[in-house]
């Protein structure tokens, strides 16, 4: 159920011209399009879900399965920027407090994950929220494509990095997981409406440029990112080969 005090909307940025996988939202996974999987799973946790796209083919497909969409510009550099434009357009016709940015290539996004994000806004001081999962293998811990995060005692992010953080001094790396709890960052965000408007006006920051992690821009500019923990890890589809893993996941889970 939606919070009585806070009105959430879900926005799924989706573009056709992906460099690594053109037309990805309209690729079939099982008997549904990838974008349809994302949309329908998001609806399990959020009453009001929209696809934000710059492509008529995606808009037509979304309308075809009964979804809602909003047309955005084609010059956005990130999904965050596309979400912000969509939120601005939608605010003229609907009321909401928090925008949940759901990646259009995460067909197995779970209700539990979205509810965890929503729960962060039970704290009235939460500006931005995101998800983390405890790391259970060295393969993930030392994979620079899997960002890591450290948090304070109030579950606010202190730092994100592609390196394993914190560094465990005077211990072999193979044993780090026995000495400390490490967390990987899952790239799903929620923002208060006014904060989303503000962060899209920020210039790239030094830490962001060093690590190529957009969220560092927000931290460097003083925004707080609340962290929710999840035990579920989504399977993202970044390149055509990722479809194989997604299909195996569906078969294993009887989808």
Residue 156 phi/psi, 5° resolution?
-100, 140
Beta bridge partners of 69: 51
CA atoms within 13 A on the CB side of 9: 28
pTM of the model: 0.92
In angstroms, rounded to a whole number, what is the distance separating the alpha carbons of residues 56 and 101? 21
Q: Which domains does the chain have, with CATH numbers?
A: 1-109 (3.90.550.10), 110-116+123-232 (3.90.550.10)
More confident residue, 3 or 108: 108
DSSP 228: E
Residue % of the chain over a pLDDT of 70:
98
Residue pair 48/93 in contact by the 8 Å Cβ criterion: no
Chain-wide mean pLDDT for the chain? 94
CB atoms within 10 A of CB 46: 22
Task: Identify the pLDDT of residue 77.
Answer: 87
Mean pLDDT confidence for 34-48: 96
Helix/strand/coil (H/E/C) assignment for every residue in 39-65: HHHHHCCCCCEEEEECCHHHHHHHHHC
Task: Identify the pLDDT of residue 253.
Answer: 77
pLDDT digits (tens, 9 = 90+) for 70-94: 999 999 989 999 999 999 999 999 9
Residue pair 193/98 in contact by the 8 Å Cβ criterion: yes
pLDDT digits (tens, 9 = 90+) for 134-161: 999 999 999 998 999 999 999 999 999 9
β strands within the chain, DSSP E: 8-14, 28-29, 32-33, 49-53, 69-71, 98-101, 128-134, 148-151, 157-161, 183-192, 225-229
CB atoms within 10 A of CB 1: 6
pLDDT digits (tens, 9 = 90+) for 183-214: 999 989 999 999 999 999 999 999 999 999 99
Task: Identify the pLDDT of residue 54.
Answer: 95
In angstroms, rounded to a whole number, what is the distance separating the alpha carbons of residues 120 and 247? 32
């Amino acid at each position: 159920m939606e919070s009585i005090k806070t009105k959430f909307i879900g926005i799924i940025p989706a573009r056709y011209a992906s460099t690594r996988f053109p037309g990805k939202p309209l690729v079939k996974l099982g008997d549904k399009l990838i974008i349809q999987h994302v949309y329908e799973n998001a609806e399990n946790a959020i009453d009001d879900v929209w696809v934000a796209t710059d492509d008529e083919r995606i808009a037509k497909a979304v309308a075809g399965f009964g979804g809602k969409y909003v047309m955005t510009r084609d010059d956005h550099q990130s999904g965050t920027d596309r979400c912000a434009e969509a939120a601005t357009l939608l605010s003229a016709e609907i009321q909401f407090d928090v925008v949940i940015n759901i990646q259009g290539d995460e067909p197995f996004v779970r209700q539990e994950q979205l509810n965890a994000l929503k729960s962060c806004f039970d704290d009235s001081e939460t500006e931005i929220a995101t998800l983390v999962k405890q790391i259970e293998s060295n393969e993930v811990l030392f994979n620079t494509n899997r960002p890591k995060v450290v948090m304070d005692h109030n579950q606010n992010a202190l730092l994100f990095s592609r390196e394993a953080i914190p560094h465990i001094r005077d211990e072999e790396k193979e044993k780090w997981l026995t000495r400390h709890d490490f967390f990987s960052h899952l790239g799903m965000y929620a923002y208060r409406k006014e904060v989303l408007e503000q962060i899209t006006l920020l210039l790239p920051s030094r830490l962001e440029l060093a690590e190529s992690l957009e969220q560092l821009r927000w931290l460097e500019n003083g925004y707080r990112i609340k962290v929710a923990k999840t035990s579920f890890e989504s399977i993202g589809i970044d390149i055509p080969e990722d479809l194989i893993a997604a299909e195996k996941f569906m078969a294993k889970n009887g989808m």
